[in-house]
Each structure stands twice: as structure tokens, then as C-alpha cells.
Amino acid sequence: MERFKKLWARTGTRMGFVMLMVFLFWAKTLVAYFVDFNLNLSDPFQFLIILINPIATTLLLFGLALYFKRARFFYPFLFLIDILNTLLLYINVIYFREFTDFMTVSTVLGYSKVDQGLSGSSLALTSPHDILYWLDLVIVLILMATRRIYIDPRPVNKRVGFAVTSSALLLFTVNLTMGEMDRPQLLTRTFDRTYVVKYLGLDAFTVYDGIKSQHTSELRSHAKKSELSGILKYVHKNYAAPNKQLFGVAKKKNVIVIHLESFQQFLINKKVNGQEVTPFLNKLYKSKATYSFDNFFHEVGQGKTSDAETMLETGTYGLSQGSLFTQLGNDNTFQAAPAIFDQSGYTTAVFHGNVASFWNRSNTYKNLGYQYFFDASYFDTSGDKALGYGLKDKLLFSDSVKYLQHLQQPFYVKYLTVTNHFPFTLDKEDSSFKTPNTGDKTVDNYFKTAHYLDQSIKEFYHYLDKSGLAKNSLVMIYGDHYGISNSSNKSLAKLLGVNPDDWNDYDNAQLQRVPLMFNMPGYTKGKVEHTYGGEIDVLPTLLHLMGINSKKYIQFGTDLFSSEHNPVVAFRNRDWVSPGYTSIDDTIYSNRTKQEIHPTGKLAKKIAAIQKHVNQGLNDSDSLNQKNLLRFYHPSGFKTVDASDYNYSDGLQKAEKLEKKLGLKSTSLFSRNGDKSTQSLYQTDAPELNHKETDSNRIKITNQDDTSGK
């Protein structure tokens, strides 16, 4: 008791009062972390970081009061900082309950544009425990009024103030170091705003986001419409007219995009221990119903999966640093695939078993024009149903049916798979695939998760066939980026029949191939194409297959089927590959000999011209996106997307409401099936579902004819 009295007596000093306020704010921040925010803590180290991260910035801000000599300034200033910080915390609590995300500076400044219904629903978003966010301030004021806490008139020596500031900065440095240890490139790649809050705290996130917003704002404030002229000249010069035989071959069909996480081309037709790694994808790849590409490369940078989505949806490159989705996705103007399809009479949707805020998808998808986003909140991700990056693939495809069947046709839908993601872990009961033994667990397990992904797609195709969707759909399958990093490629080399001692940068570049397939069940003219291309080429190719000419849009790729297609593939770091030559760090390799060469004469000029083309494309794309120049460009017939038109919180209800409104005119699969669910048509051997008929389902799926058209 005596010890407590001595400790409490210190609150009567300015330093003690600051420590009390820091402690109280730390406590209510932890309430927000553990009760209101979903920070996805995965290990004790992250738990430790969570306990530490509110302290540094709180001590730094509250400690500023120590520099005031007079008590009449010290106490009001400290309370003002506490109130503002509490307000920031509480606003984020309310916002998180509605959007499962944190408020950015641009969101705060343009709050009315976030969601017109949020202000009206704020009261409904409150909770009884919210009193804890404000109770400490009330209690402290009462204690001061009743003189249980005395006002200290004595100023604090400036050296004490400097010591507190220095300690706060040192603690923040330690905090940042711990965050970087657990999540490398935390601030440069910015996977998810949740990550920054989890590792550095809400105050640090707000400052960090404010700096980024200011940089973006400065770029945009000086942007002029005239800057589009050079970009338009480049795009129009490099436009490739569609292949007349294939233009519109899939017109009015559904488009189903399957995004293969970390899936590289070498997996196709690969055997391990005598067993095919991806037997179903192998059949699709070789089918006459499929156009496949064996020289197709990913072109992602630090944004990885989000960069792949950027190229797929917008026809522009990801940024040179970080992710376009997280840095610019909140308020950039896009003329993207979802909006283009929407304005062509399509329903647009995404299915993804991760949280909506990851890569800022919840906001970016609205600006891209997606009508529906079925994220982790729509699925049961409890227990062993999910891995580090979300719902397992078999469960994603299976559980998506209850939503997919209610979408009006034709639709443009995208499935983002996650199970084949680093570190490639999978529960034993999910796969019996026998892995290789390279000595590198990452490489070994990669084949197991890839095999699981293949099985997932096979089950989904079985449903497409049984439900009747297959015959009226184009299924586009592509790999988003590498799975095995360059540091592990030598371990992989043996499996590829290459001597690890001979492996070099050229081999690393060539290994960046990923699959690309356009599968149309019932089609018979498909084949394996050897054309060189990259992810930047996907959008114009897909649009032309659907009978939509890409010429009026600003896109940096070209139709892979066009005779005018440019076969140079630009990597985000300005390296490139082409049918004849490869450039890595300004070193040129001959694809024929796989050896370094030193070009002279005409070849040197040709190489220089290719590099100039690559640089200009990347520069123009960066300028277009960073300065938001598309706000100045208005293609004929295209309506600018208004993000406030979309709300992803009630997807199923919206789809069902539309079905009832359309009545007999509804084109959803559910309506076409006599208002009966098609979920029973889906067969899966996913052990998490505990089906009694798991074994019989597995047999049926194994023996059923594939829908590849072969």
C-alpha cells in the first residue's frame, strides 16, 4: 500500500503526470488492438511488438508538454494532445467496424466521399465498451478537480524534456527494427495498412500515410493535361490491331479469371517422383480448347500480386517502388477491365479468401469498378480452413458457389488463390503428394502446394461443367509472379536438369515465365503459342477476344495474337527479355548460346532501341499513374467510375434483390436452375468440410471427363 501511495504521489509531478497519461493511453490503445482491430497476430514476437508499439509515439507526443514552463500551458497542451490522439484512435475504431480498414489522411480530408452512409450509421457502429476510450480523461479531470492529483507549478528542466524525446525516438527505432525483422520492406512495399499499424502503431501509420499523401498531392497539383500528349503518342504508336480471326471469338461469354498464386511455368508438365505435379492444368494447357503461351513472363515489382492485378486490370505497370494499389488505389482514376466490362453489360466480381484491406483491395477495387468483392468476411476461415494468406483454395472455390450462382450473366469474375504462397505450408491431411528432396524445404514444399492448387481448379472445373457454366465461359488462367526466389533457384536447378554450378543471372531471368491460358470449353482451334509476352499484354488480348477494341484506352501492352505485337518483355527494374536477347543489369545475353555477348554495330543500335522503348514505357506508365493523368482523358463512350457507387458489405443480399427485381428476365445461374441452389453440384475432397462422401467424391472427380474440350 505504501508503495502505491508513493507511486501515486508522483502523479503530482509533471513527469509523473506525463507517465500516467502515457500509461492510460497505452491501455486504451491495447483495447482497440485486441477488441476492435483485427491485426492477425501469428506469433509471440508479433504480440510483443503490439505491446510496445503504442509507447514510443505516445511518449514522443505527450512528452512535448514538458517543454512548457508554465502550468497553465503544460496541462491544457497535454490534455489537447491526449484528446486529439484519442479522437484519432476512436474514429479509426468506428471506421474499422464498417470497412475493416484504417482511415488514411486522404480519407479524413475527404470523409464525405468515403461512404455516404457511414455518418448515418455511426451510432449503430458504437459499442458499450467504447466508454473505455474516453473514461480515463473524465476520471483524470475529476481527480484533478478534487485535488487527488495536484497541479505542479514547477517547470521541468529542458534536459529532462530532451531525455524523454530522445528515449521515445530510440524506442521507436527499436520498434521499427523489430518490425523490419518480422516483415522486411515494411514501409517500402506496404502490403497492408494493417501491417503498419500492427508493427508501428496508429500514430506512426498516420504520419507515414500523410507523407505519402503529400508527395502524391504535390505530383498531382503540378500535373497538366498536356503531359498526356507524349504518353498518347507512345501508346498509339505501339498499338497492335487485333487478329481478325480471333477478335470477338468469346463475345458475350462469361469471363472467369483464375489467378494462380506464385505459379511458375516450369510446373506445367513437370513430374516429381514419377507423379505429375499439375495433371489437370497439363490437360488444359495441351487442350484444343485452349490457347496457351510458353514464353509468357510476369513483370511484377515490389507490389508482387497487386502489381499483377494492376497490369491485368488497367494495362499499366506497377510502380517502381511499393504497390500502386496501396499508394494510389484510394483515389486514382482508372479505365480498368471491371469498368469496361460493366459498361458492356457484364456483372463484375472478385472472390478472395483474405481480408479486404490486404493490398488496399477494398478501396482500389471500387475505383477499378468492381461491383462485388467477396473477401474473407464472406467465408468461414476458422480453424484449419485458412493459412497465412487466407482461405484454402479448395474451400474458396467450393464456398464461392453460393455467391457466384446469384450473379447476373454474363459476368467478369476473378478468383485470387492463396494456398500456393510462400512459405508453401500445407496441412498433412490436405495432400499426400510426395515432395522432392532438394535440401531446401521451400523448394520441396512448393510442389505440394502447387499440386493442391491443381486439384482445386479441377474440382472447380467439374462444377463449371455440371452447372452448365463451362459451355458459355472463357476461363483465363495466369500465374501472377515467381514462387521460388533467385536465392533458391540453385536448389531448384537439379530438378530442372541444370548443373547448379552453371546457374547464372540469365537462368534466373528465363525462370520468370508463368503460365497464361485462354480456355474455351467446346472450342477446337487452340494450341500452344510461342509468342513472347508479359502480363502487361493480357488486358488488350482479353478485350480483343471478347470483341472489345482496346484502341481508345491507354494501355502499355499489345494483343498477343496480333501480328503487330511487340515481343519485348519489360521487367519492372528495366531489365528485359526478347525472343533473341536478354538484358540483365545492362549485360546482354544471347538466348541461343545463353552466354554474355558484347553487341557492336547494328546489333548495338538494336539493343539500345529496345532499352529506350522499355524505359519510355515504364516512365510513361509511372507518370500516368503517379500524376493521375487519366482524369484528363475521356475515351468516347466510357463513363468515369465513381467509387461511392460501391459497397461490399452486403454482396449476397444485393445479388438476390436484383434477381427478384428482374424476375423471369434474371440471367443468374440460380434463376436458370429454377430458383434452386447449385451448391450440391460441387464435389470436393477438402477434409475441412468433413463430407461423409469424401472418398466417393474424390473417385468421381478423378474419373470424370475434363471440360477442356479435348
Annotated binding-site residue? 587? no
Annotated binding-site residue? 481? yes
Q: Of these residues, 305, 326, 364, 684, which one is catalytic?
A: 305
What stretches of 538-645 show up as alpha helix (H) in DSSP? 538-545, 601-626
Beta carbons within 10 angstroms of residue 296's beta carbon: 25
Using the predicted structure, report yes or no on whether residue 223 has a pLDDT greater than 50.
yes
Give the pLDDT band of residue 676 (cuts 50, 70, 90). very high
What stretches of 640-679 show up as alpha helix (H) in DSSP? 651-662, 669-672
Instruction: Convert the pLDDT of each residue in 552-579 to its tens digit.
Output: 999 999 999 999 999 999 999 899 999 9
Q: Is 374 left (phi over 0), alpha (psi -120 to 50) or beta?
A: beta
Look up cell 472463357; give the residue.
474
Give the pLDDT band of residue 326 (cuts 50, 70, 90). confident
Give pTM, 2 decimals.
Answer: 0.76
Return the amino acid letter for 670. F
Instruction: Convert the pLDDT of each residue in 148-171 to its tens digit.
Output: 888 999 988 989 999 999 999 999
Using the predicted structure, report yes or no on whether residue 710 has a pLDDT greater than 70.
no
Instruction: Convert the pLDDT of each residue in 104-145 to its tens digit.
Output: 776 665 443 334 334 444 565 788 999 999 999 999 999 999
Round to whole Å and give the CA distance between 519 and 527: 10
Q: What is the pLDDT of residue 190?
A: 59
Annotated binding-site residue? 596? no
SS (H, E, C) 49-87: HHHHHHHHHHHHHHHHHHHCCCHHHHHHHHHHHHHHHHH
Number of H helices, E strands in the chain: 26, 17
Q: Give mean pLDDT, residues 695-710.
A: 39
Q: What is the pLDDT of residue 189?
A: 61
Q: Is 274 left (phi over 0), alpha (psi -120 to 50) or beta?
A: left
Annotated binding-site residue? 565? no
Using the predicted structure, report yes or no on whether residue 45 has a pLDDT greater than 80.
yes
Q: Compute the radius of gyration of the chain from its Cα atoms.
A: 28
Q: What is the pLDDT of residue 593?
A: 92
Domains and CATH numbers, the chain: 1-220 (no CATH), 241-571+632-645 (3.40.720.10)
Give the pLDDT band of residue 415 (cuts 50, 70, 90). very high
Query: Strand, coil or helix: what is 493?
Result: helix
Is 305 part of the annotated catalytic residue set? yes
SS (H, E, C) 262-294: CCCHHHCCCEECCEECCHHHHHHHHCCCEEEEE
Using the predicted structure, report yes or no on whether residue 376 has a pLDDT greater than 90.
yes
Q: What is the pLDDT of residue 629?
A: 97
Identify the helix (H) or strand (E) that includes residue 27: helix 14-31
Instruction: Convert the pLDDT of each residue in 597-627 to its tens digit.
Output: 999 999 999 999 999 999 999 999 999 999 9
Using the predicted structure, report yes or no on whether residue 92 has a pLDDT greater than 60.
yes
Q: What is the pLDDT of residue 2?
A: 62
Give the pLDDT band of residue 90 (cuts 50, 70, 90). very high
Q: Is 585 left (phi over 0), alpha (psi -120 to 50) or beta?
A: left
Annotated binding-site residue? 305? yes
Q: What is the pLDDT of residue 103?
A: 79
Q: Give mean pLDDT, residues 677-698.
A: 73
